Amino acid sequence: MKSSENSEMNTYQFKGVPLTAAIAQSLILKMFQGKLIERHVIDDEVLRAHLAGGGKKPSRSSGEYVRKALLDMKKVGLAENVSLGHWRIADAEVPIESMTSNEITASASAPHENIESEEPLSVDLDIGSGVGAIYVYYLPTYRLHAETRSEESWPCKIGRTDRDPVNRVLSQVATALPEKPHIALIVRTSQPLAWENALHGVLTLRGLRIENSPGVEWFLTSPREVLELVKQFDLRFANAKFPGSE
């Protein structure tokens, strides 16, 4: 490690403090000022820099704190959500070193403020193992609309990630989604691309891909239909079922 990096770690003011939205905001401005950057990169790099400086992991998903930081920055013109999953950070650094001891103390208590009042994303069924994952989520409004019409299918997004799937969904919550999504299914795997291609392929052949949707990952299906496909693809999941299922 370079001596300059050692010096930065030794002077990091949030050493021993869990990551909060306020700390995340300072790090974002320090690392990404004037840049157009993908949300998942911000998530990863903020946590990496905080831990490298001697900070502690947050009690909740770091993506939630990054999300709050970006939304707060957007309100005051320090960040712009230019497209789905992409943020432009203002060219105006606010160095961590300039924060007062009172601000550091306030930052350390931030998890008990606004962000704690937000209900975290829950997952109905989380199966498998691996560094990557595929995930299925939907907007509650879509399901409610389908149920009022006695329909068993509604728009669901089937995506993949090589990182934490909840953080991946959170990055989309902070961009273009009109309401908090419901994560129905996560299948953890070391081959997320193969799984995504298989599921997308079958559902596309069934004519269930939703045209004119943002991206190519939305299908008129249901979590149960997707889970049945998962069971067919891998017998290890043959006994998997959603909570409350018979």
Question: What pLDDT does 72 receive?
Answer: 84
Q: Would you write out the chain's pLDDT as a tens digit for each of its 246 residues?
A: 444 444 444 578 788 888 888 888 889 988 898 899 888 889 889 989 988 888 888 877 788 888 888 888 888 888 888 877 789 898 764 444 444 444 434 444 444 333 333 455 678 999 999 888 999 999 888 899 899 889 999 999 999 888 777 766 666 554 455 567 888 999 999 999 999 999 999 999 999 998 866 556 899 999 999 999 999 999 999 999 998 776
Question: What pLDDT does 117 receive?
Answer: 35
Please spell the DSSP secondary structure of the chain, one letter per residue. --HHHHHHHHT-TTTT-B--HHHHHHHHHHHHTT-EEEHHHHHHHHHHHHHHTTPBPPSS-HHHHHHHHHHHHHHTTSEEEEETTEEEE-S----GGG--HHHHHHHHTGGGSGGGGSPPP-EEEEEE-SSEEEEEEE-HHHHHHHHHTT-S-EEEEEEEESS-HHHHHHHHHTTT-SS--EEEEEEEES-HHHHHHHHHHHHHHTT-B-TTSSSS-EEEE-HHHHHHHHHHH-GGGTT---TT--
> How many C-beta atoms surround the C-beta of residue 149 within 10 A?
8
pTM: 0.53
Q: Break the chain into its structural domains and give their ranges.
A: 7-117, 123-237
Question: What pLDDT does 92 receive?
Answer: 60
- Cα separation, 193 vs 195, in Å, equals 5
- Cα separation, 174 vs 171, in Å, equals 5
- Cα separation, 27 vs 22, in Å, equals 9
Question: What pLDDT does 120 receive?
Answer: 57
Q: With the CA atoms of 165, 170, 171 and 172 taken in that order, what torsion angle do they form, in degrees rounded to the nearest 10?
A: 100
Question: What pLDDT does 171 receive?
Answer: 60
For the segment(s) 7-117, the CATH number from 3.30.360.10, 3.40.50.1980, 3.50.50.60, 1.10.10.10 is 1.10.10.10
Question: What pLDDT does 63 receive?
Answer: 81
Question: What pLDDT does 182 receive?
Answer: 87
- Cα separation, 220 vs 207, in Å, equals 9
